Amino acid sequence: MEPVKTGIIGCGNISGIYCKNAKRLEALDLVAVSDLLVDRAEERAKEYDTEAVTVEEMLADPEIEIIINLTIPKAHAEVAYKALEAGKSVYNEKPLAISREDGKGLVALAKKKKLRVGCAPDTFMGAGTQTCRKLIDDGWIGEPIAAVANMICHGHESWHPSPEFYYEVGGGPMFDMGPYYLTALVNLIGPVKRVTGSARATFPTRTITSQPKYGKVVEVEVPTHVVGVLDFASGAIGTITVTFDVWSSHLPLIEVYGTQGSLSVPDPNGFGGPVKVRRAGGEWTEMPLTHGYPENSRGVGVADMAMGLRSGRPHRASGDLAFHVLDIMHAVHEASLQGKHIQLGSTCERPAPMVMDLLPWTLEG
């Protein structure tokens, strides 16, 4: 098929890997980048042999069909609405939006205009989690009955060049890192129907120790230690802990427990990683990866959406999936504030599994 012309809005820290991979994925043709900081856009354009343009110019370009929205979380909805109104499909960096209202509105507007909304993370499409998906679907651990997910760290102010937004509304460990873990769990087990949880902000301020903002003190506006209980529609029960308050841990990143065995899932913030199974009566065994995309392949979700645009099939990193994850994250916070279980108003289908034996940087039609 003819590659889909694509533009990137937002040339911050994550944009480099998207630019790099958009040049490698056969379904995409990266033709322009844009940022409010013109110098930053021009630097990316020069680095990846593309053009730096204004947002207005990008949205007015009739040849660009997909906007990759890599702005900060509080701008995700605004930029995505503008892209859809301009007649372009949009793929947001996570989360889909800050509010449920905006998330739901973006999905509805895209359907009305017969466009697509996609959203990171697409790491669940990589070799590691797809191998786990195949093992579960093939019955290696029997029926999944439980899962645990743990994202344990002490925040990003020690390494990120501009970490303030991690502690603003729309940030925090649940909205920043939760999408990786929750998306992986929904891919492996299915949608969630009910949640409860507890949350707190341990430290009222954070001091940046990275450059160029070393020494700046940041006010913390969001919970930074969050624990949730997830009741899946299938009957399985999961727990998730996400924190910026803990220095270190030996907890597993994700494990899924079935009636016939247990499965160790690799880091959902990456695409590859070791997959281990221990079946009833056996020992832990590392399994060979069954699928492609073991390396950092951010952007494969955009390419999958581009293929969907051309063929009419659903894309995997969909707006419905991203909105369900957004709904779960809000519900865990609300459950803590209200001291009760929250019944979710959303659901979604498990994304289709990836095809095996793909050539590098390709996707099936």
In this predicted structure, the answer to whether residue 196 has a pLDDT above a threshold of 90 is yes
What's the pLDDT band for 365 if we cut at 50, 70, 90?
A: low
* For the chain, domain boundaries: 4-119, 124-287
Q: Which residues of 321-333 are buried (b: 16+ CB within 10 A; e: fewer)?
A: bbbbbbbbbbbbb
Give the three-class secondary structure for 282: coil
Mean pLDDT across 39-48: 97
Q: Which two tokens stand for residue 114?
A: 């017969």
Q: Label the pairing between strands 117-119 and 89-92.
A: parallel
**pLDDT, averaged across the chain:** 97
Q: What is the pLDDT of residues 231-267, one digit of tens each?
A: 999 999 999 999 999 999 999 999 999 999 999 999 9
pTM: 0.97
Domain range 124-287, CATH class: alpha beta
The C-alpha atoms of residue 313 and residue 332 are separated, in whole angstroms, by 32
In this predicted structure, the answer to whether residue 364 has a pLDDT above a threshold of 90 is no
Distances from the Cα of 268 to the Cα of 9, 65, 78, 179, angstroms:
25, 29, 27, 9
Q: What is the pLDDT of residues 81-135, one digit of tens each?
A: 999 999 999 999 999 999 999 999 999 999 999 999 999 999 999 999 999 999 9
Question: What are the residues whose beta carbons fall under 8 Å from the beta carbon of 311, sequence distance 6 or more?
Answer: 365
What's the pLDDT band for 1 if we cut at 50, 70, 90?
A: confident
What was the pLDDT predicted at 19?
Answer: 98
What's the pLDDT band for 167 if we cut at 50, 70, 90?
A: very high
Mean pLDDT across 158-172: 93
The C-alpha atoms of residue 176 and residue 162 are separated, in whole angstroms, by 14
- For the CA atoms of 132, 137, 139, 144, the dihedral, rounded to the nearest 10 degrees, stands at 80
What was the pLDDT predicted at 275?
Answer: 98
The single residue listed with the structure tokens 């999944």 is 144
Distances from the Cα of 56 to the Cα of 66, 119, 229, angstroms:
14, 22, 43
In this predicted structure, the answer to whether residue 306 has a pLDDT above a threshold of 80 is yes
Q: What is the pLDDT of residues 54-67, one digit of tens each?
A: 999 999 999 999 99
Q: What is the pLDDT of residues 2-35, one digit of tens each?
A: 999 999 999 999 999 999 999 999 999 999 999 9
Mean pLDDT across 296-316: 97
Are residues 174 and 333 in contact, defined by beta-carbon separation less than 8 angstroms?
yes
Mean pLDDT across 298-307: 98
Topology annotation, domain 4-119: Rossmann fold (3.40.50)
What was the pLDDT predicted at 344?
Answer: 98
